A = this chain, B = another copy of it.
């Protein structure tokens, strides 16, 4: 079905006009954008991955995609700080959810890889809404299968480079060690931002460092300021193809109570947004926003933050779409 919303000047179908259709009306899609079946092409796709069987503490991120979509109703079309209409210079669509078996992590990872790969191979850049951080591994596989190994900016309170829990290699604490072992990551172009949780022991840092990760802790962000952090990230990534993975717990629990392993001392949402805007121009190929657990959220503030982060990523794509020669 074609959407009621007529295409804009560039031929892209965006949002219904919120001065004529209330933002609270209509079946829910991310940012009230068209579904995939309503558009002919899709440059950037938002895709839900409702899987949370990899969590070690509070579950519930399986309801993340629904909650983030619902919260995204508020979003409007013009990004005044980036001076671009992100849904007007590229076709963005909601790709729906990937179906993943909640009772078998291995099967689920395979399904997520298959589900994302089809889109990536068709030329769509994906931003996934989790689900727990386990999903970053199959998403990375899909991106790397098409584009080769990637740099990684990983926003999180936790390293997520642990080896196993209960003998299980695939959980929300281990995706980036697995990704490293599978050769998906570009050594020396990797950085964690926002780290602050206590660790199991000192060897966690050694393992992490051996993979090639840099660490900019939450306290470093406060001490250096976001603009220095941006410079350091841009330098570390350079021109490398880049994947951006955001665990919502990078934010302080004040800003993101709705998550499974909250850690105090985190970033303010304003800091995180400034950093994301600061990496505009880097060669981002895809990303995810994970670990939104709505049962612990209040007034949707965590989901609203996640919806905004997805919007910022879409805008990064938009800025490349409009630049001369991009």
Interface residues of A (CB under 8 A from B): 1, 17-29, 35, 37-38, 48, 50, 52-60, 62-63, 65-66, 69-70, 73-81, 83, 85, 94, 96-105, 107, 162, 164-168, 171, 195-202, 204-205, 217-219, 222-223, 226-227, 252-255, 257-258, 261-266, 268-271, 273-274, 295-301, 304-305, 308, 311
Contact = CB atoms under 8 A, between A and B. Distances in A.
A59 B60 contact: yes
B252 A198 contact: no
B254 A311 contact: no
A295 B76 CA distance: 23
A264 B79 CA distance: 14
A101 B167 CA distance: 9
A30 to B, nearest CB: 10
A101 B164 CA distance: 12
A254 to B, nearest CB: 4
Given A37-B1, A219-B274, A253 B19 contact: no
A9 B210 CA distance: 25
A125 to B, nearest CB: 20
A274 B295 CA distance: 30
A304 B262 contact: yes
A199 B268 contact: no
Contacts of A257: 298-299, 301
Contacts of A226: 222
Contact of A27 (B35, B53, B258, B271): B35
A80 B199 contact: yes
A197 to B, nearest CB: 7
Contact of A254 (B26, B81, B268, B274): B268
A308 B264 contact: yes
A202 B58 contact: no
Given A37-B1, A270-B266, A200 B295 contact: no
A262 B75 CA distance: 11
A47 to B, nearest CB: 11
Contact of A103 (B26, B168, B271): B168
B295 A97 contact: no
Contacts of A296: 295, 299
A265 B270 contact: yes
Contacts of A299: 253, 257-258, 262, 296-298
A310 to B, nearest CB: 12
B264 A273 contact: yes
Given A50-B24, A299-B258, A197 B56 contact: no
B78 A199 contact: yes
A27 B24 contact: no
A301 to B, nearest CB: 4
7 contacts: A1-B37, A24-B66, A79-B198, A198-B311, A262-B299, A264-B305, A268-B268
B103 A105 contact: yes
A238 to B, nearest CB: 25
